[in-house]
Chain A
C-alpha cells in the first residue's frame, strides 16, 4: 500500500481536529511535547490541496486548531523579559489535551476488540422475551420495511410452481379474524414465516394487506427487536383486551 492510499483510508475514521493533528504528529513521528506548528500546518495545507473533495465540517474544526497553533507560535516568538516557567509554556495546554485524547484512542482500540469478542458469543438474552418490554431495543418497522420483506419473500417463492386452485376465496375480514386469533394463541407471529405459510399467492397477498390494515388500525404492532432480526407482529395490549371482551 503506498503512502497516499493509506492516508486516504485512515481519513475515513477521522472525527475531530485533534484526531487529524494527532495523525499528522504521528506520521512525522514527533514528540507531542514539541509540536512544530509550521510543519504541521504545511502538511495540512498539502493534504487539502491534494483532496478534490472537502468535508467542510472537519476542515472548519481544523481551522480552530490552526488558530490555536498560530497563537502558540506567536507566543513562542515574542521576546520576553523573563524566561517562561515550564508550567507557562503555551504548548502545554495543547500537549495535555493531546495526551488525554491519545489515551481515549487507546481505550477505543481496547473496547473495539472486546466488542468483536462479544459479537461472537451468544446469551439467552438474545432470544425473544415473551412480550416486548421497555428495556429492549425495539424498532417499530415502517411500511417500507414490511413491503421490502414481503417482496423479498415473493421473489424467493417465484421459482415455485404455483398451482392455482379456484374456489377458495378469502375475504379481508376472514383473514383479519384469522390473524387476530393466531396472535391470541401464539402471542406473536413471524411476519415472513406467516406469509410464507399461506397456501396461495393470493392468500399471501390478502394476508399482507390485512396485516397492513391491522397495523394502521393500531390493533397490532410490527416490531424488529434488533436491526437485521426478523420482523415480528404482536397484538397490541389494549387490542388484546378489546378482542377478548369485545
Chain B
C-alpha cells in the first residue's frame, strides 16, 4: 500500500469538496505512520505545482483541496454561467479585519476600533458564516464575543490565522502607503 500512498491521498482529495485535513487522511489510513502521510502529501502538492496542468492542490483552513489556476477563471465562469463573484463590501471587509486581529471581540469593541457603528456589517458577516459567536464576555452587559470561522480562512485562501500579516509587516505596508 505504501508505494501507492501518494495516489491514495490524491483520490481522497479529488473526491473532497471541503479541504481534506491530515486528521481525516489519518482516520482513513490508520496503519500508515503520520510522517509518511505528510511526506506523500508534500510530494503530491509539489508534483501538481510542477506540472503544466490546469489543476493544483492548495492548502487552506488546515486541509488540502484541488483548485483551478487563475488563468482559467473566464472559462469556468462561462461554464457555470456566473457573471462575476461578488466581493465583500468595504464596510464588511473592515469589520472582518477588526475581528480577525482582535478576536475574540465584542460588537462595541469593533465599533470603537472602526469609529462607527458596525451592527449591520457584523450581521451580514454572521449570515455569510465568515464569523461566529463563541460566547459572552465577562463584562457589564455580558456582550457576545465573535471569532472568524474556517470559512473565513477558505474564503481568503489562508491556511491558518498565522498566515495573516504580522504587525511588523503591516507597519511596513503602512509606511509604503504614507510615503
Binding site for B on A (CB under 8 A): 13, 15-19, 26, 29, 61, 65, 97, 100-112, 114-127, 129, 135, 137, 226-230
Contact = CB atoms under 8 A, between A and B. Distances in A.
A100 B113 contact: yes
A121 B67 contact: yes
B115 A26 contact: no
B90 A110 contact: no
Which 10 residue pairs are nearest across A and B when measured between Cβ atoms?
A: A16-B116, A18-B115, A120-B70, A16-B115, A107-B97, A120-B73, A114-B156, A106-B170, A122-B68, A121-B67
A121 B155 CA distance: 11
Contacts of A111: 93, 96-97, 100, 156
Interface string B48-80: 000000000010000001111110110010001
A221 B174 CA distance: 49
Interface of B: 16-18, 58, 65-70, 72-73, 76, 80-88, 90-91, 93-94, 96-98, 100-101, 112-116, 128-129, 155-158, 164-165, 167, 170, 173-174, 177-178
A104 B155 CA distance: 19
A14 B115 CA distance: 11
Contacts of A126: 76, 80
A117 B94 CA distance: 18
B155 A115 contact: yes
A117 B113 contact: no
Given A26-B178, A106-B173, A124-B17, 16 more contacts: A16-B114, A97-B115, A101-B114, A107-B101, A110-B170, A115-B87, A115-B155, A121-B58, A121-B68, A122-B68, A124-B66, A125-B65, A226-B85, A228-B82, A228-B84, A229-B81
A159 to B, nearest CB: 20
A13 B112 CA distance: 18
A104 B88 contact: no
A151 B173 CA distance: 49
Contact of B115 (A19, A116, A228): A19
A116 B156 CA distance: 9
Nearest to B129: A135
Contact of A13 (B65, B90, B129, B174): B90
A118 B155 contact: yes
Contacts, number: 133
Contact of A17 (B67, B88, B115, B157): B115
A30 B76 CA distance: 47
A109 B173 contact: yes
Contact of A106 (B18, B69, B174): B174
Contacts of B66: 123-124
A115 B88 contact: yes
Contacts of B158: 114
A103 B76 CA distance: 36
Contacts of A16: 114-116
B156 to A, nearest CB: 4
A121 B156 CA distance: 11
Nearest to A61: B116
A175 to B, nearest CB: 25
B128 A137 contact: yes
A67 to B, nearest CB: 13
B22 to A, nearest CB: 18
Contact of A15 (B76, B84, B94): B94
Given A104-B94, A121-B68, A227 B17 contact: no
Contacts of B116: 15-18, 61
B177 A106 contact: yes
A61 B73 CA distance: 41
A114 B83 CA distance: 20
B87 to A, nearest CB: 6
Contacts of B67: 121-123
A19 B114 CA distance: 8
A26 B165 CA distance: 23
